[in-house]
């Protein structure tokens, strides 16, 4: 079955430190990949997306993600986090065979240590 | 920038009552979706809608749920007889084409928080 795994439920990093949030998917073909951010009580904001081409994609708020086909991964990175980055981050995929729906991972809650 | 709007932002209803959650998708979009997020859990796909019919639905989307595009602008989710476990944030989304096709992304609304008491 198609699935998305975010192995880290909660991560705490110091302000100014680098960040990497992990995401793995399981599916045979190339998926369409997304990272969304959700602040408490808020909706889903798209950070970045990958459909094809360059496997390193840049998003908003200084985030980037790299698609690694061999590892079925799409990890999110930021070189220096800010206190305002504290939020829930969801990796999501859509698959060509069922492109009418997006499958979300269980999310990673990011806390920032002052 | 065009956006998906949902009303109300928060709705409280008694168990057994019917609720209708409303969404106005982006005007030139053709595909519409409902997702839900139970508190503290992940976002789950409920249903997709295209050309005035359901194109895909999850096992969550049982007979108590229905969707409708009553006019040219609104997209609604009806829950016929709400249960306590229906309490969740419900997100509407829309896209110009199927997600991924021609680099199409889905745009999400801010959500309606449904509380069943």
B13: β partners: B116
Cβ within 8 Å, pair B108-A36: yes
- Summarize pLDDT for A63-86 with one digit per residue, the tens: 999 999 999 999 999 999 999 999
CA distance A62 to A69: 23
- Summarize pLDDT for B5-57 with one digit per residue, the tens: 999 999 999 999 999 999 999 998 999 999 999 988 889 999 999 989 999 99
Q: Which residue of B has its CA nearest to A45?
A: B108
Q: Which residues of B touch A36 (CB under 8 A)?
A: 108
Would you say residue B115 lies in a domain?
A: no
Q: How many domains does chain B have?
A: 1
Would you say residue B102 lies in a domain?
A: yes
Domain map (residue ranges) of chain A:
3-113
Q: What is the reported pLDDT for A7?
A: 96
Would you say residue B85 lies in a domain?
A: yes
CA distance A82 to B11: 33
Distances (CA, A) of B89 to A51, A53, A61, B6, B107: 28, 34, 25, 11, 16
CA distance A43 to A61: 17
Would you say residue B117 lies in a domain?
A: no
Q: Does A74 lie at the interface with B, CB-CB under 8 angstroms?
A: no
Q: Does A18 lie at the interface with B, CB-CB under 8 angstroms?
A: no
Q: Does A106 lie at the interface with B, CB-CB under 8 angstroms?
A: yes
Pick the residue of B6, B21, B40, B42 with the most A CBs within 10 A to test the interface with A by mutation: B42
State the residue range of the domain holding B53.
5-109
CATH of the domain at B99: 2.60.40.10
Would you say residue B67 lies in a domain?
A: yes
Cβ within 8 Å, pair A51-B103: yes
- The DSSP call for residue A72 is T
Q: Are A90 and A105 in contact (CB under 8 A)?
A: yes
Token output for B45: 């796909």
Q: Which CATH class is domain A3-113?
A: mainly beta
Q: At residue B85, what are phi and psi to the nearest 5 degrees?
A: -75, -5
DSSP secondary structure letters along chain B:
----EEE-SEEEE-TT--EEEEEE--TT--EEEEEEE-TTS-EEEEEEEETTEEEEE-TT--TTEEEE--SSS-EEEEESS--GGG-EEEEEEEESSSTTGGG---EE---EEEEE-
Would you say residue B80 lies in a domain?
A: yes
Question: What's the average model confidence in pLDDT over A80-97?
Answer: 90
Q: What is the reported pLDDT for A96?
A: 64
Cβ within 8 Å, pair B91-A44: yes
């Amino acid at each position: 079955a198609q699935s998305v795994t975010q192995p880290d439920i909660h991560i705490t990093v110091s302000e100014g430190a680098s960040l990497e949030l992990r995401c793995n998917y399981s599916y045979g073909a190339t998926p369409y990949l997304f990272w969304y951010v959700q602040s408490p009580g808020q909706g889903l904001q798209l950070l970045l997306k990958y459909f094809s081409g360059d496997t390193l994609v840049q998003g908003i708020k200084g985030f980037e993600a790299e698609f690694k086909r061999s590892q079925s991964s799409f990890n999110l990175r930021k070189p220096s986090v800010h206190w305002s980055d504290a939020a829930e981050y969801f990796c999501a995929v859509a698959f060509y065979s069922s492109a009418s729906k997006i499958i979300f991972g269980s999310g990673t809650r990011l806390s920032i240590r002052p | 920038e065009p956006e998906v709007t949902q009303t109300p932002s928060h709705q409280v209803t008694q168990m057994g009552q019917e609720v209708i959650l409303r969404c106005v998708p982006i005007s030139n979009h053709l595909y519409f979706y409902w997702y839900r997020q139970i508190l503290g859990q992940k976002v789950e796909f409920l249903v997709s809608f295209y050309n005035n019919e359901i194109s895909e639905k999850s096992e969550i989307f049982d007979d108590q749920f229905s969707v409708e595009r009553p006019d040219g602008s609104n997209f609604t989710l009806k829950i016929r007889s709400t249960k306590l476990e229906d309490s969740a944030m419900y997100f509407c989304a829309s896209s110009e084409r199927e997600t991924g096709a021609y680099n199409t992304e889905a745009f999400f609304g801010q959500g309606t928080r449904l509380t069943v008491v």
